[in-house]
Structure formats: structure tokens, C-alpha cells
């Protein structure tokens, strides 16, 4: 008796069902069926559908159509054969070619992967129909292009626009990659083989960006000791005004010559009318006096004082930033720079000029000139599992006390001076460790001496003719930077967040003020309140009634 070829399909299933903490493993299932038996597929145990991995698929000496039917059933695909596959054309001799036999043993593959591998090996293809949901297995056309499929990928962490250029280079020119920034999705058209590689690449690229906590501490110490001792003769000897003649003095003086005769009033004082000067009569006996020798009065400044200013400022900003995203930590203030704008010419008349403050005076590279204080620009990157690379740009700036003055078109103009100290460095430190930045120090020592020649050099008495000044300005800035990689366990969910979202706001009704608190005259036409309402006190004040809706809402919140 002629023996039929047998189809042997061995499937190893590793299914687990969780009941509490217990787990059960399914046994190995083996199915044998005749090649011509149409119930072979029905006799095969049902495998898991979709993309589940099968530990073992073994087919031994089975006809190609039967192997395709079995694998398609396990993959959950409804299909039909092209007549050219089941009824091939006769060869040159007129004989019909026999169906080939299939033998393979594959481990840890899906049923769909096994089916596609068999079809590719025998120059067959699976064409899906999106309308009928019934696929067709037919012979590949060598000249035909592989069909394109479209798939939408939902990104979790990455920006779609950032992945367009990368994914476009992994598919053929026929495919397309479109980014939908509104929904953070990618629409990709490519062949099935390209789609598999695109899917694997997206899973590797669409990962959560690491976050770094940047903690900074700015410690600035200022010391300004000053001393000034001695007698300053500058006002007397540096610019002494001496005048000889008449009619150039100021101030009034009255003299009667001789006694009992007519009096005359002349100017005998130097400077303004409130500042005394020195006047010497050079024509005694003449009436009135006509020639005078005038000079400024004697002025000295006595200094005997020490001053010492110590200041310490501390700022501790902190922020969480994404990896490779520049972050600025700053403690600044904006100093207004006043600008004069020329008045407009309206109707032939020029309006008056206006002066307005400018708080955002543009500087180079998009900076703000009149923004002074302490700034720290940091860009973190994570290397390995615990190292953080920092690109640091600290800056300290301030406004000078004396402005810069210049003469333009005969007019004195002044502008503030801003001093800046910058430092740029890069460092690699472990997560949670602290990096110390220093060197932003400013140390100025100054001494000045003022003396009257010869008299200031005399021992002892020379102290009355000289002045000594010393000052020491010291500013020291130390910056501490601590980067810490933030993990998922570092975030805490508030237990009351859900209750807060479902909570309705409590609306407070507008309370009408009584005539005691209101400036409006009392309306005597309104009826009086009944006995159950709030009673007016002796002063005429009526306490507001409690809003019933509000009290009910508050009681519900307390529960």
C-alpha cells in the first residue's frame, strides 16, 4: 500500500497563568497529520496569535501548501492561494511540476516570521487587502517593486522633527517620513522589511532624556576699609583767587569818611555775598576808596576718621534641566539708563524732548548691558551611568560709582560704566559631587598724600599741613556647583493631586456693606430684617449672613 507523506509539527509552548503567586507551565505538544488530510490544521493545537515568540517550530517533510496553511493559521492570517501557486504551468516536456517538500526546525521565532521566511525561500509573497482583510499568496514578480505600507509611530520622549532626518536615511527613496509635532507622532511609508528596521531603530532612539538637578551657591565677600587723617589745604592753596583793582569785588561794605560826612557803599568782598573774603585798602585817605587788593579766604578740611565696610552675600539657586540643554542661574538687577528722545515736529512746532528709562540696553551676543549681578550658564551632559560633564560660564558684573563723561557738540554727556568678570571652563565630575570655582577676585589698594611744601615736612607741626588717605577694596566670589542625575525614584506623587483635580472651587458671594461701613446714605425704603436674620447691634452694624452654599461646600471639604 502506498504510504502518504506525513506532516510533523512540533510546537513548544511556554505559557504561564498567574493565579495569585502560583505559575503553571504548559507541556510540549506534538501533532502528526497526513499531508493530504484537510483536518491537519484543525488537529494542531492553537498557538498564541500576534507577535508572540514560539520556543520551537519543527516541520518535517511536509508539502509547501500544507506548511503555509499551518503557519498562516498560527499567525492568525486569513488568506487564499493564487491559482498559479496550486496549479503551476507545465514545463517544456508537458509535465506538471510537483509541489516541493518543506523541512525545518526553528527556535524562538514568531509564526509570522516563520511564514515570511518560507514564502521568501520559494519566491512567494503575501499581499494584504485592507478592504476584505483576506490576504493573497502569489508568485513574486521580479520586475515589480515591493509594496509600501504606512504605519504611525507614537513617540514617548523624542521630538518627531529630530528623528525625520535619521529615519529618512534608513529607507528607500520611495518611502517617506512625516512628523506630526502636534501629537508627537511619526507617519512612515516604507516596505515591510524597511518598516521592521525602522521600528527597531525608533525603539532605541525614543528613550527618556536624562534630567540633571543643578544646585549652585554664590558666595561673595566684600571688604572696604578706609582711613583718612590730616589737614587738607586744597581749598585754600590749590585755586586761590587774587584780584587787584576796583569794580570786580562782590559783597557790600559801608564806610563814612571823614566821621560825620556823607557815607559811601562799595564792594569789598570776594566770592558770593555769603562767603567772606579778604580786602586790603591801597588808597587810604581817598573818599571813596578806589583801589583794593582782594583774595579768597582761608579754608581747610580736618580729617581724622577710619571706616570699614564688610559685606557677605549668599545666593543658592537650583533648577532641574534636561541633558544637553543650556540653563541659566542668575541673581541680577536691571539699572535704568536714561535716554533723551527728541520731540516731534507737529504743525510747525517742536515738542519738548522726553527722557525715558531703558531697562534692557542691548549688548553684544544678545546680552543686556545694564543687567548686573551674578550669572551662571551651565550645560550638562551625562557620560556613562554616573558622570556629568559641565560646560560652565559664570559671570559677575556691577555698576561703577563714577560715570564716564565726555563733551559732544559743546554739551557734557555722561554714561554709566559696567564692569564684568567672566570665567569659562569645562569639567567632568561624578553625580552628587561639588565643583568649586574661584579666581573671580578683585583687590585694589590705593594711597594718596596731600601736603603743603616745606611746612608738611616739618616734624610734629607738619601734621597740620598734610593729609594721608588709604583705601582697600577687596571682592571675592566663590561658586559651588553640584550636579545630580535625577532618577525615576526621585519623583514623588502627591496623594492629594487627584482630589484637587476633582475639587470644585468655592465661590464667595459678594457681601453688601452695611450703612456703618459704607459711604452711601442709608436706604430707609428697604424693609427691616425679620427676627430670624442677623440683628443689628447698637451702633447700627448688621453682620453679613452666612452663605448657605459656601458653608455646605466647606463642610464637604472638611469631611
Per-residue model confidence as pLDDT tens digits over 318-346: 899 999 999 998 888 888 888 877 777 77
**pLDDT, average across residues 215-237:** 84
Per DSSP, 385 falls in state T
What is the model's pLDDT at position 243?
63
Contact predicate 234/301, CB 8 Å: yes
Per DSSP, 328 falls in state E
What is the model's pLDDT at position 394?
87
Task: Encode burial over 470-495: b for 16+ CB neighbours within 10 A, e otherwise.
Answer: eeeeebbbebebbbbbeeeeeeeeee
Contact predicate 54/105, CB 8 Å: no
Going by pLDDT thresholds of 50, 70 and 90, the confidence category of residue 528 is low
* pLDDT value at 65 more than 60: yes
Helix (H) or strand (E) holding 483, with range, is strand 466-486
* pLDDT value at 519 more than 60: yes
Q: Strand pairing of 16-19 and 6-12?
A: unpaired
- Higher-pLDDT residue of 2, 96: 96
**pLDDT, average across residues 89-95:** 79
* pLDDT value at 235 more than 80: no
Give the chain's radius of gyration (CA, Å): 49
Q: Strand pairing of 327-334 and 242-245?
A: unpaired
Average pLDDT of the residues of the chain: 76
- Higher-pLDDT residue of 254, 248: 254
Q: In terms of pTM, does the model score above 0.85?
A: no
Across 33-47, 105-119, 344-358, the highest mean pLDDT is recorded for 105-119
**pLDDT, average across residues 242-260:** 51
- The span from the CA of 48 to the CA of 41, in Å, is 15
Amino acid at each position: 500500500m502506498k504510504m502518504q507523506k506525513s506532516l510533523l509539527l512540533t510546537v513548544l509552548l511556554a505559557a504561564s497563568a498567574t493565579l495569585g503567586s502560583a505559575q503553571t507551565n504548559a507541556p510540549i505538544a506534538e501533532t502528526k497529520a497526513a499531508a493530504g488530510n484537510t483536518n491537519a490544521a484543525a488537529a494542531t493545537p492553537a498557538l498564541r496569535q500576534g507577535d508572540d515568540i514560539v520556543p520551537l517550530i519543527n516541520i518535517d517533510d511536509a508539502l509547501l501548501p500544507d506548511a503555509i496553511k499551518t503557519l498562516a493559521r498560527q499567525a492568525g492570517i486569513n488568506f487564499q492561494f493564487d491559482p498559479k501557486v496550486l496549479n503551476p504551468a507545465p514545463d517544456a516536456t508537458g509535465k506538471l511540476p510537483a509541489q516541493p517538500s518543506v523541512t525545518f526546525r526553528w527556535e524562538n521565532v514568531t509564526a509570522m516570521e516563520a511564514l515570511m521566511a518560507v514564502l521568501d525561500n520559494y519566491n512567494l509573497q503575501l499581499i494584504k487587502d485592507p478592504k476584505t482583510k483576506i490576504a493573497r499568496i502569489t508568485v513574486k514578480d521580479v520586475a515589480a517593486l515591493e509594496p509600501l505600507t504606512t504605519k504611525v509611530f507614537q513617540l514617548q520622549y523624542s521630538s518627531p522633527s529630530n528623528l525625520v532626518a535619521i529615519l529618512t536615511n534608513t529607507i528607500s527613496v520611495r518611502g517617506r517620513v512625516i512628523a506630526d509635532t502636534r501629537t508627537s507622532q511619526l507617519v512612515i511609508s516604507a516596505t515591510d522589511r524597511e518598516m521592521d528596521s525602522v521600528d527597531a531603530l525608533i525603539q532605541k532612539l525614543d528613550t527618556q532624556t536624562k534630567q540633571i538637578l543643578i544646585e549652585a551657591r554664590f558666595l561673595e565677600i566684600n571688604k572696604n576699609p578706609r582711613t583718612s587723617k590730616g589737614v587738607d589745604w586744597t581749598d585754600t592753596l590749590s585755586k586761590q583767587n587774587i584780584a587787584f583793582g576796583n569794580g570786580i569785588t562782590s559783597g557790600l561794605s559801608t564806610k563814612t569818611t571823614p566821621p560825620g560826612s556823607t557815607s559811601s557803599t562799595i564792594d569789598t568782598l570776594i566770592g558770593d555775598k555769603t562767603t567772606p573774603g579778604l580786602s586790603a585798602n591801597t588808597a587810604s585817605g581817598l573818599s571813596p576808596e578806589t583801589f583794593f587788593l582782594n583774595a579768597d579766604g582761608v579754608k581747610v578740611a580736618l580729617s581724622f576718621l577710619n571706616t570699614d565696610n564688610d559685606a557677605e552675600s549668599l545666593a543658592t539657586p537650583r533648577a532641574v534641566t534636561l541633558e544637553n540643554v543650556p540653563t541659566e542661574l542668575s541673581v541680577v538687577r536691571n539699572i535704568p539708563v536714561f535716554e533723551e528722545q527728541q520731540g516731534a515736529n507737529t504743525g510747525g512746532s517742536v515738542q519738548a524732548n522726553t527722557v525715558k528709562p531703558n531697562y534692557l540696553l542691548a549688548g553684544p551676543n544678545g546680552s543686556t548691558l545694564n543687567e548686573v549681578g551674578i550669572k551662571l550658564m551651565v550645560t550638562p551632559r551625562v557620560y556613562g551611568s554616573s558622570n556629568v560633564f559641565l560646560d560652565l560660564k559664570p559671570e559677575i558684573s556691577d555698576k561703577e560709582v563714577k560715570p564716564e563723561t565726555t563733551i559732544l557738540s559743546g554739551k557734557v554727556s555722561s554714561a554709566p560704566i559696567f564692569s564684568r568678570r567672566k570665567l569659562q571652563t569645562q569639567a567632568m565630575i561624578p553625580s552628587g559631587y561639588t565643583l568649586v570655582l574661584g579666581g573671580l577676585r578683585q583687590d585694589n589698594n590705593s594711597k594718596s598724600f596731600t601736603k603743603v611744601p616745606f611746612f608738611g615736612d616739618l616734624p610734629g607741626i607738619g601734621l597740620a599741613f598734610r593729609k594721608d588717605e588709604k583705601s582697600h577694596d577687596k571682592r571675592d566670589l566663590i561658586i559651588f556647583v553640584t550636579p545630580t542625575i535625577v532618577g525615576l525614584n526621585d519623583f514623588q506623587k502627591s496623594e492629594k493631586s487627584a482630589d484637587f483635580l476633582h475639587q470644585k472651587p468655592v465661590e464667595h458671594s459678594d457681601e453688601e456693606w452695611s450703612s456703618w461701613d459704607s459711604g452711601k446714605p442709608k436706604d430707609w425704603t428697604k424693609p427691616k430684617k425679620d427676627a430670624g436674620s442677623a440683628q443689628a447691634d447698637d451702633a447700627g452694624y448688621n453682620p453679613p449672613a452666612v452663605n448657605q452654599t459656601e458653608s455646605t461646600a466647606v463642610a464637604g471639604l472638611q469631611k
